[in-house]
Amino acid sequence: MKLAEALLERKDLLKRLVADAKVQEGDRPAQDPEELLSEAEGLCRRLNLKDLMVAITRANSRVCLSDGRTLTEAIAERDL
């Protein structure tokens, strides 16, 4: 699975998790929360998400921009 596909699948699952987390008292969620949780755990295992995130962070910390900052620093500044 390519990184872009993995991130899209993760984004879709997170969107569904958040949507089902917001349910009025007395209403039932659109999807079974236990099934969503199981799907999320399976996705994390399939993607080996922790190792993928570590690899991306390592790569971003090695890449230097023309101004001397690492890509990690530029991303942090952008996110502020």
Report pLDDT digits (tens) over 22-52.
Answer: 777 888 878 888 888 888 888 878 878 788 8
Q: What's the confidence (pLDDT) of residue 71?
A: 94
Interhelix angle 3-21/33-47, nearest 10 degrees? 160
What is the total count of domains within the chain?
2
Residue with token string 């995130």: 53
| 55 and 42 share one domain | no
Token duo for residue 11: 């984004």
| 11 and 24 share one domain | yes
* pLDDT tier at 7, thresholds 50, 70, 90: confident
Domain residues for 65? 48-80
Q: What's the confidence (pLDDT) of residue 1?
A: 58
| 5 and 40 share one domain | yes
| 2 and 36 share one domain | yes
| 8 and 35 share one domain | yes
| 37 and 75 share one domain | no
